[in-house]
A = this chain, B = another copy of it.
Amino acid sequence: MNKIVIDILGGDNAPNAQLEGAILAAARNTDLHFILIGDESIIKPRVEEAGIIRRCEIIHTTENISCDEAPTVVRTKTNSSIALGMEALRKRDDAAAFVSSGSTGAVLAGAVMRVGRIPGVSRPALCPLLPTKKPGVKTMVVDVGANVDCRPEHLLHFAIMGSEFMRARGVENPRVALVNVGVEDKKGNELTAATFELLKQTDLNFVGNMECKDAFSGDYDVLICDGFVGNVLLKTAEGSMKMLMTMMREKMTSNFITKMGALLVKKKLKELKAELSDEEVGGSVFIGAKKPIVKAHGSSNAIAFSNAILVAARAVELDINTRIEAAIARNSLGNTGE
């Protein structure tokens, strides 16, 4: 039976948000079974109370890797929740996926060192889903920081993995675009120019270059870029929208009339904030590792964390990794069109 391995110690709101998230996910999908990694004395009574103890296995530890530590400590802190989780993925057939709100670096390092890659994948990638203008439409960015120096064949693999992932999410023929400084075919730097030529030769629905002002248009399903650029894209969106929200709040509370107005629109703006938050999406998937790994936001609350768990469960259920392996083989360099 497939089990989702869950890090209960990582994250700003751990262990409560993580535990509540697991309990919530168990309620939302009654087929799920978990391996919970954390303090047994805290976990056990809570899952007992929630009535899901028969669906939970607990691996006890109290050692966490903080975000301030070098990611490579995952190698030496073998009793940390992340290291134990990766070890479970590596050794146990029933450990099907891993979810953590802990140190992104440690999760990535652990995945690469202990779990390994899907055969044929040159570099796994960290892939969040962006909100867009179109209700219900999300756009995946591959990569946002796992690989800050990339070659064209890495970006080719990102495109294939992202496309398969979105297909598994129900997008019929995912539109793949290359993040660039303009939409014309010849635009860009050395990396994008070479990547463009590779992407043209695949069986993907490659729609060409995209300028970042259109990243939130909902016209694309997968955006391809190196991890440095993707990180800039993701964090700039976060920073600029926060700035706008802050300035808006200041404007709306600047006098009596605007305060009245703010009261009337408050509920709707809260709705908007929720739609744009990470809560709904759950977390970034680390695609390309031998087993699905989902990195939930460090600040995840219980709802966000439960969504991250469900993303991992769905990746297992849809057998995304087998699909990716086949797509990579189909589109690998020197083997195009096969």
Interface residues of A (CB under 8 A from B): 131-133, 145, 148-149, 179, 181, 188-190, 192, 211-217, 225-229, 231-248, 251-252, 254, 257-258, 260-265, 268-269, 271-272, 275-276
Inter-chain contact A179/B212, CB cutoff 8 Å: no
Inter-chain contact A251/B272, CB cutoff 8 Å: yes
- Using CB atoms, name the residue of chain B closest to A255: B268
Inter-chain contact A231/B181, CB cutoff 8 Å: yes
Interface-centre pick from A131, A236, A242, A275 (highest chain B CB count, 10 A): A236
For the complex of A and B, the 7 pairs showing the least CB-CB separation, nearest first, are A261-B264, A212-B235, A261-B265, A148-B189, A251-B268, A237-B240, A213-B239
> In whole angstroms, how far apart are the Cα atoms of A241 and B233 in the complex?
13
Beyond known contacts A145-B181, A229-B232, A241-B241: 19 more, CB 8 A cutoff: A148-B188, A212-B232, A212-B234, A212-B235, A214-B239, A215-B239, A216-B243, A232-B232, A232-B233, A237-B239, A240-B240, A244-B272, A247-B275, A248-B272, A251-B271, A252-B268, A260-B264, A261-B264, A265-B265
Inter-chain contacts of A227 with B (CB < 8 A): 181
Closest CB in chain B relative to A289 CB, distance in Å: 20
Inter-chain contacts of A217 with B (CB < 8 A): 239
Inter-chain contact B251/A265, CB cutoff 8 Å: yes
Inter-chain contact B233/A133, CB cutoff 8 Å: no
Inter-chain contacts of A275 with B (CB < 8 A): 247
> In whole angstroms, how far apart are the Cα atoms of A233 and B225 in the complex?
13
Q: Which single member of B132, B215, B248 contacts A236 (CB below 8 Å)? A: B215
> In whole angstroms, how far apart are the Cα atoms of A251 and B238 in the complex?
20
- Using CB atoms, name the residue of chain B closest to A190: B149
Inter-chain contact A240/B264, CB cutoff 8 Å: no
Closest CB in chain B relative to A12 CB, distance in Å: 15
Inter-chain contact A243/B132, CB cutoff 8 Å: yes
Closest CB in chain B relative to A272 CB, distance in Å: 5
Can you sample 7 A-B contacts with CB below 8 Å? A133-B247, A189-B226, A237-B239, A244-B276, A251-B271, A251-B272, A265-B265
> In whole angstroms, how far apart are the Cα atoms of A238 and B254 in the complex?
25
Knowing A269-B248, A271-B251, the reply to whether A189 touches B260 (Cβ < 8 A) is: no
Inter-chain contacts of A244 with B (CB < 8 A): 241, 244-245, 272, 276
Inter-chain contacts of A243 with B (CB < 8 A): 131-133, 216
Q: Which single member of B232, B235, B252 contacts A265 (CB below 8 Å)? A: B252
Inter-chain contacts of A211 with B (CB < 8 A): 235
> In whole angstroms, how far apart are the Cα atoms of A72 and B234 in the complex?
33
Closest CB in chain B relative to A252 CB, distance in Å: 5
- Using CB atoms, name the residue of chain B closest to A215: B239
Interface-centre pick from A149, A212, A244, A260 (highest chain B CB count, 10 A): A244
> In whole angstroms, how far apart are the Cα atoms of A241 and B244 in the complex?
7
> In whole angstroms, how far apart are the Cα atoms of A248 and B261 in the complex?
14
Inter-chain contact A242/B261, CB cutoff 8 Å: no
